[in-house]
Structure 1
Amino acid sequence: MKHSATRQTRRGRGPALRIGRSLAFVLPVVLVLSGTLAVTRVDWSGDPADSMLAASEAASSKTAPRAATRAPHEVLRDRLLTELQEEDPGTALTHLQQAVNERPSLADHCATIARALGRAAVKVYGPKRAQSYSRPVCDTAFASGVLAAHG
């Protein structure tokens, strides 16, 4: 048997092999630990009061019991309608404008909320007095709500 004069090199015995072996050891450990952490955060008892999410929802639901299941614009509309009845439409319109300024995502619903306030104002104050509270919040949506409820 004759050996060749050229020297053969072994492929894969450099830094790539060391990295591969390190990953082969570390990756399963990381996956097991992350899976264990994910499983411990899930409420397996079936009681929603025990879960971490339920605790954060309970803190926010003290102010509005059904706020967790309703859209923010619906919560705002109901709060402003209550405020309109307890105070006046001017205060409700001011708070509507402030809410839209603070959360621009509510701007899409501003006109419908203002119309609902206009219709409610007619029921509470009558058409003439309700129209006196009209201001340029969400264009003229409040005024169109007053007109729709009156006409």
Structure 2
Amino acid sequence: MKHSTTQQTRRGNRGPARRIGRTLALVLPVVLVLSGTLAVTRVNWSGNPSNSVLTASDVSTAGGASRSVVRAPQDLLRDRLLTQLQDKDPGVVLTHLQEAVNGHPSLAEHCVSIARALGRAAVRIYGASRAQSYARPVCDTSFASGVAAGHS
């Protein structure tokens, strides 16, 4: 004996909520992927505030025949710091490295290799004993290990 007067729905037809759920299940992943892709292209990876938006036209030159080489941020930082090492003492350059890593945490995984390269370059420029005097705990003392590697 039934006490309810509402009509029972059939198993195959569960109503509009099920259709909306299926539609969202198909559309939502596509929307998330597209919005994530657009967000990544708008991040300033270069550290240069004037180039804050990367577009497809930035990747190639205006002529289209030759493509410009897009370098990784850690390579740009390494080259910039090695250039600074020519004019400034290693203490200043290590401070700039620490500031760059603090400002862009994605560079932290490359900090060790950059500090070692700076240590080896400091040995070539200043000599082993003077370069060692600038060593401090930036990137787990990797500068000091670079000095040691450059001295051997």
User: How would you bin the TM-score normalised by the shorter chain?
Assistant: 0.5 to 0.7
Match in the other structure for 1:137: 138
Match in the other structure for 2:40: none
Q: 1:2-151 alignment to 2 at 5 Å?
A: 53-54=56-57, 69-151=70-152
Report % sequence identity: 64
Deviation at 1:53, TM superposition (A): 3.9
Letter in 2 for 1:74: D
> Whole-Å Cα distance in 1 between the matches of residues 104 and 60 of structure 2?
20
CA distance 1:72–1:55, shift in 2 (3 Å): closer
Q: Structure 2 stretches of 5 or more lacking a match?
A: 1-54, 62-67
RMSD: 2.1
Deviation at 1:56, TM superposition (A): 8.9
Match in the other structure for 2:9: none
Match in the other structure for 2:4: none
Letter in 2 for 1:77: R
Q: What is the TM-score with the length of structure 2 in the denominator?
A: 0.56
Secondary structure of 2:71's match?
coil
Question: Are 2:119 and 2:131, in contact at CA under 8 Å, matched by a contact in 1?
Answer: yes
Secondary structure of 1:138's match?
coil
Match in the other structure for 2:12: none
**Structure exhibiting the larger radius of gyration computed from Cα positions:** 1
Q: Structure 1 stretches of 5 or more lacking a match?
A: 1-51, 59-65
Report how many aligned residue pairs link the two structures: 93
Deviation at 1:107, TM superposition (A): 0.4
Deviation at 1:109, TM superposition (A): 0.3
> Whole-Å Cα distance in 2 between the matches of residues 78 and 98 of structure 1?
16
Secondary structure of 2:112's match?
helix
> Whole-Å Cα distance in 2 between the matches of residues 137 and 72 of structure 1?
19
In the TM superposition, structure 1's runs of 4+ consecutive aligned residues that sit over 6 Å from their partners are: none
CA distance 1:125–1:98, shift in 2 (3 Å): same
